[in-house]
Structure 1
Amino acid sequence: MKNPITGLLIALFLITLVSGCTLLPERTARNAFMLPAPQVAKSRNPAVPVTLRVLTPQAESPLDGTYILVSPREHIIQAYAGARWSNPTPVMVRDHWIEGLRQNGGLKAVVSESSEASSQLTLSSDLGRFRMHYPQGQAMVEIQLDAQLLESQSRRVLAVKRFQIELAIDDQPVESVIAGFGEASQALTEDMVSWLLSTSEEIYKGADQ
Structure 2
Amino acid sequence: MNARFRLHALLLALPLAACSSLFNVQRTPFTIYSPRLAATAATDAPPMRVDWQLAVETPLASDALDTVRIVVMPRPGVIEVFPGARWSDSAPALLRNLVVQGFENSQRITGVGSAASGLRADYALAITLHDFQLEIDGGTRAVIRLQARLLDYTTNRVLAAQAFDAETPARGSDAATAFAAFEAALNQLVPGVVAWTLREGEAMHANRKE
- TM-score computed with the length of structure 1 as normaliser: 0.82
| Cα distance between partner residues in 1 of 2:131 and 2:28 | 23
Alpha-carbon distance change, 29 to 57 in structure 1, aligned in 2, over 3 angstroms: farther
**Number of paired residues?**
182
Cα-to-partner distance string for 1:98-124 (whole Å, 9 max, x where unaligned) = 001011121231111111221000011
Cα-to-partner distance string for 1:60-87 (whole Å, 9 max, x where unaligned) = 1120011100001111000013111111
The corresponding residue for 2:201 is 200
Identity %: 27
2:47 aligns to what SS in structure 1?
coil
5+ long unaligned stretches in structure 2: 1-26
| Cα distance between partner residues in 1 of 2:53 and 2:37 | 22
The corresponding residue for 1:182 is 183
1:164 corresponds to which letter in structure 2?
Answer: D
The corresponding residue for 1:158 is 159
Output aligned runs, 1:60-139, within 5 Å.
60-136=62-138, 138-139=139-140
| Cα distance between partner residues in 2 of 1:29 and 1:67 | 14
Largest Rg, 1 or 2: 2
Q: CA deviation at 1:48?
A: 1.0
| Cα distance between partner residues in 2 of 1:34 and 1:207 | 39
Q: Is the 8 A contact 1:140 1:167 kept in 2?
A: yes
1:90 corresponds to which letter in structure 2?
Answer: P
5+ long unaligned stretches in structure 1: 1-26
The corresponding residue for 2:37 is 37
1:34 corresponds to which letter in structure 2?
Answer: S
Alpha-carbon distance change, 44 to 202 in structure 1, aligned in 2, over 3 angstroms: closer
Provide the aligned C-alpha RMSD in A. Answer: 1.7
Q: Is 1:58 aligned to residue 60 of structure 2?
A: yes
Q: CA deviation at 1:159?
A: 0.3
Alpha-carbon distance change, 80 to 65 in structure 1, aligned in 2, over 3 angstroms: same
Q: Runs (4+) of structure 1 moved beyond 4 Å?
A: none
